[in-house]
Amino acid sequence: MTDRWMARSNVSGDDRPGCAGAVLRGHDSMNSVREVLPVERERAISTLTLAFASDPVVRWVFSDPLAYSTLWPPFIEAFAGRAFDNGTAYTVGRILAVTLWLPPRVGSDDASMLALAFDSPEDSVRADLDGFFEQMGHVHPSFDHWYLPLAGVDPPAQGRGLGSTLLRHGLEAVDQSGLPAYLEATSPRNRDLYARHGFEEIGVIQQGGSPPMWPMLRQPR
């Protein structure tokens, strides 16, 4: 993997930068946003596992059902688990939807993430993964920003606006920081959803036989 990709996350998740957490904490009702509690970490990962079961990019990497069920949960931890450590993992109600925000200068556990990704695919997919991740690293902003690696809703709860509720509250806090927000949309539907919340496409990531993924940036408001 290129230095360009590996260098994008060089700060550990031990510090808790000043996200406007009070904005994101609410009473435990169905649509009130709150921080994921430490004892709820595994359940939040389970929700995201259900949410991404038909995601085109994720299932391109983890196409085998057994590989998905065994490798995707630890991949979530490697990709976005530092959100739990920094108090920037959010949910609504009974953990029906989850967003994992990484604060400025807090990155993924790239070594673990890449090891898990390369453990699963068929040879044809594995051949494209390095280029795919290199493109991710190339387009990822080098300036301070908030990163939303993962956001998902438990399938039976989809269509109730829970994902949009979480996203709006997260962006309120991001805007208070005065910094932009960045994410990668893994489907046209998600791309359109994020566009409605002010994100703009800044390119497309696609390598060989991979599905497209759209990096998106939102300036503070």
| List of long-range contacts for 74-78, beta carbons under 8 Å, 24+ apart | 74/112, 74/116, 75/113, 75/116, 75/117, 76/45, 76/48, 76/49, 76/100, 76/150, 77/45, 77/109, 77/112, 78/108, 78/109, 78/110, 78/112, 78/113, 78/116
- pLDDT of residue 1 exceeding 70: no
Residue corresponding to tokens 């190339």: 138
Compute the C-alpha angle 45/95/24, nearest 5°: 105
62, amino acid identity: F
CB count within 10 Å of CB 142 equals 8
- Quick one: pLDDT at residue 120? 75
Interval 5-34: pLDDT, tens: 333 443 333 333 333 333 333 333 567 999
- Quick one: pLDDT at residue 3? 35
CA–CA separation, 185 and 182 (whole Å): 10
State the pTM of this model: 0.86
Pick the range with the lowest mean pLDDT from 44-58, 111-125, 164-178.
111-125
- Quick one: pLDDT at residue 36? 98
Q: Where are the domains of the chain?
A: 3-122+144-178
- Quick one: pLDDT at residue 12? 36
- Quick one: pLDDT at residue 86? 97
Q: Assign 136 to helix, strand or coil.
A: helix
Looking at 3.40.1080.10, 3.40.50.11540, 3.40.630.30, 3.50.50.60, the CATH number of the domain 3-122+144-178 comes to 3.40.630.30
Interval 39-73: pLDDT, tens: 999 999 999 999 999 999 999 999 999 999 999 99
- pLDDT of residue 97 exceeding 60: yes
CA–CA separation, 197 and 44 (whole Å): 23
Token duo for residue 91: 């949910």
- Quick one: pLDDT at residue 30? 61
- Quick one: pLDDT at residue 9? 40
- Quick one: pLDDT at residue 183? 99
189-210: average pLDDT? 97
Token duo for residue 21: 């957490």
86-111: average pLDDT? 96
Q: Do 128 and 60 contact (CB within 8 A), yes or no? A: no
Q: Do 97 and 154 contact (CB within 8 A), yes or no? A: yes
